Amino acid sequence: MDDKTEYPRHVAVIMDGNGRWARKRGLPRVQGHRAGVLALKEIVKYSRKIGLKYLTLYAFSTENWKRPELEIKNLMNLLMEYLRSELGELKSNNIKLNILGDVYQLQAVVQQELKKAVAETAHNDGMVLSVAINYGGRNEILRAVKNIAEDICTGNAGIKDIDQHFFENYLYTRGMPNPDLVIRPSGELRISNFLLWQIAYSEFWFSDCYWPDFTTEMFEKALKDYARRDRRYGGVDSVD
């Protein structure tokens, strides 16, 4: 495509609507999450195919702990299934896995699978796949503030050091560009505590379809729409 050169470098996706997809079909919620994993696999493959450099997926938020215990257990089991079944694909497709969030609150067996997948893909440089697990944007910012305060108190940093670049080095996304495009299916029009610092100037693309129905064609449409937008970052158009 002619506008591929204008494609975003970093796309973030809020994977939403699995439960409603299942309810609409009279299925248990876990079946919606399983269908969502299938959509996830296709989007990851397609992103790598078109040369996307960074793909970030919102999988489990800090607020999701409010869900029924059985659903949380099913979600964690699906996560481990995905890691075990797709690790070979990630490695063979030169995809580096990155985790955003406080993984230390997860079960030890989940932490172990995450650490293994991250370690075995650490040297890949084709695409960075970041998965946000037990992630909350406000928690991330508070964590950064606490760590900065600790470094100042121990003499490892000074107040005059603090600027935007300095602050970003304390975020989970350290070393990554901020998302150019945020995609949210399911008909919801909110951020849901996702990458609050990082998406200050991101473009947004919404869809009414639930995540399990989100196709590579829809993903491509979002990328095309993004390529036609004029990103001014608070400035003015060159023709104005």
Cα gap 143→193, rounded to integer Å: 14
At 184-213, the pLDDT tens digits run: 999 999 999 999 999 999 999 999 999 999
Domains of the chain: 10-136+181-227 (3.40.1180.10)
**Per-residue H/E/C for 80-104:** HHHHHHHHHHHHHCCEEEEEECCHH
Q: What is the DSSP letter of 162?
A: -
How many other CB atoms are there within 10 angstroms of residue 176's CB atom?
Answer: 19
Q: How confident is the model at residue 1 (pLDDT cuts 50, 70, 90)?
A: very low
Q: What is the pLDDT of residue 65?
A: 97
In degrees and rounded to multiples of 5, residue 107 shows phi and psi of -60, 150
Q: Is the separation of the CB atoms in 101 and 133 below 8 Å?
A: yes
pTM: 0.93
Q: How confident is the model at residue 239 (pLDDT cuts 50, 70, 90)?
A: low
Q: What is the pLDDT of residue 230?
A: 81
Cα gap 100→81, rounded to integer Å: 19
CA 115 to chain CA centroid, Å, is 17
| Phi/psi-derived region of residue 89, left when phi > 0, alpha when psi is between -120 and 50, beta in every other case | alpha
* Residues identified as active-site: 16, 64
Q: How confident is the model at residue 231 (pLDDT cuts 50, 70, 90)?
A: confident
At 87-105, the pLDDT tens digits run: 999 999 999 999 999 999 9
At 9-64, the pLDDT tens digits run: 999 999 999 999 999 999 999 999 999 999 999 999 999 999 999 999 999 999 99
Q: What is the pLDDT of residue 236?
A: 61
Q: What is the DSSP letter of 180?
A: S
Query: Residue 163 has which token pair?
Result: 């600027």
